[in-house]
């Protein structure tokens, strides 16, 4: 396994792979890798001849008052996990490698970015689309892997690939959870012991909502009210949003008549956590 810092090095390595007709998988990450990332890596390794993991805390997707500076970083830990899971190449650039001083070009999207996390993080998806488009252009993978935990991001990236005719396939991989149900997240490290216990209210609400829908409830307001009431019973929880939207367009729906995404963002103390479930059997 190699670790490289420059675009030139990545392109030289991938060019050699392509000459040998080897397929390439890409797992874009911001590092501080956990079992959720490992599941994406495993999917790439099993589906491709070579796997690239990018580790880049992308400043463009953080707002002015967000956690860019404090976002957890540990390249030694990340490289060990990657090596254990048979990654071939880590791309770990500095911000000035990805964004030169005269950087003026951005990839943006409307409709899919306007609800859910797009309301409270208005610049976030512009940063996500730009950096992912750059990574796709740099690595030129045949396949790319993203987690369902960031379901809105996954829908946006799939739409971007379709709209811009990018020659790769985007794969969504299931949410990986702790034994007690909490969705794996790098931001879980911010939680105190008390907050960590309180954070279980997210997965409990997801389980409740999923159960209601699977048992035939089709009125979104009833599902959401039950979930919101449960979350609100936790003193340390502050709801950003709990919504049901169309899975493809990320637009709100009132009745479950087509595949939906039920997504939430909840503050536990100062830490913003997300979770969701998808229901397609309609």
Active site residue 124: no
Q: Which of 34, 37, 85, 124 is catalytic?
A: 37
Do 88 and 45 contact (CB within 8 A), yes or no? no
SS3 242: strand
Q: In the numeric block, which tokens belong to residue 176?
A: 């990986």
Token digits for 111? 């409709």
Asked if 54 and 135 count as a contact pair (C-beta separation under 8 A), the reply is yes
Maximum separation of any 2 CA atoms in the chain, in Å? 58
Judge residue 115's burial from the number of C-beta atoms within 10 Å of its C-beta, 0-12 exposed, 13-18 middle, 19 or more buried: middle
Q: How many CB atoms lie within 10 A of CB 247?
A: 17
Q: Are 128 and 156 in contact (CB under 8 A)?
A: yes
CB within 8 Å of 21: residues ≥ 6 apart? none
The position carrying tokens 């030129």 is 140
The CA distance from 107 to 157, in Å, is 11
Structure tokens at 256: 């479950």
Task: Using alpha carbons, list the distances in angstroms from residue 50 to 18, 37, 146, 195, 218.
Answer: 10, 17, 17, 39, 44
Q: In this structure, how many other beta carbons lie within 10 angstroms of the beta carbon of residue 69?
A: 8
Catalytic machinery residues: 37
């Amino acid at each position: 396994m190699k670790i490289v810092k420059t675009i030139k090095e990545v392109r030289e390595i991938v060019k050699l792979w392509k000459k040998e007709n080897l397929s390439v998988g890409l797992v874009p990450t911001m590092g501080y890798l956990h079992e959720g990332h490992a599941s994406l890596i495993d999917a790439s390794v099993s589906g491709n001849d070579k796997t690239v993991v990018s580790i880049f805390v992308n400043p463009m997707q953080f707002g002015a008052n967000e956690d860019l500076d404090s976002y957890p970083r540990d390249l030694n830990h990340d490289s060990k996990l990657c090596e254990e899971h048979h990654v071939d190449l880590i791309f770990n650039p500095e911000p000035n490698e990805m964004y030169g001083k005269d950087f003026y070009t951005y990839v943006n999207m409307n409709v899919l970015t306007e609800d859910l996390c797009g309301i409270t993080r208005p610049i976030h998806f512009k940063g996500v689309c730009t950096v992912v488009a750059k990574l796709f252009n740099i690595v030129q993978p045949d396949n790319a892997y993203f987690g369902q935990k960031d379901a809105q991001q996954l829908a946006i990236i799939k739409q971007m690939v379709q709209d811009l005719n990018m020659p790769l396939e985007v794969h969504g991989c299931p949410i990986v959870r702790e034994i007690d149900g909490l969705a794996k997240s790098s931001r879980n490290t911010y939680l105190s012991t008390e907050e960590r216990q309180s954070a279980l209210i997210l997965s409990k609400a997801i389980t409740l909502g999923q159960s209601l829908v699977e048992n035939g409830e089709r009125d979104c307001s009833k599902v959401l009210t039950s979930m919101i009431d449960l979350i609100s019973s936790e003193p340390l929880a502050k709801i950003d949003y709990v919504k049901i939207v169309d899975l493809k367009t990320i637009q709100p729906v009132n009745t479950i008549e087509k595949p939906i995404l039920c997504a939430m963002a909840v503050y536990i103390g100062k830490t913003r956590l997300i979770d969701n479930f998808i229901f397609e059997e309609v």
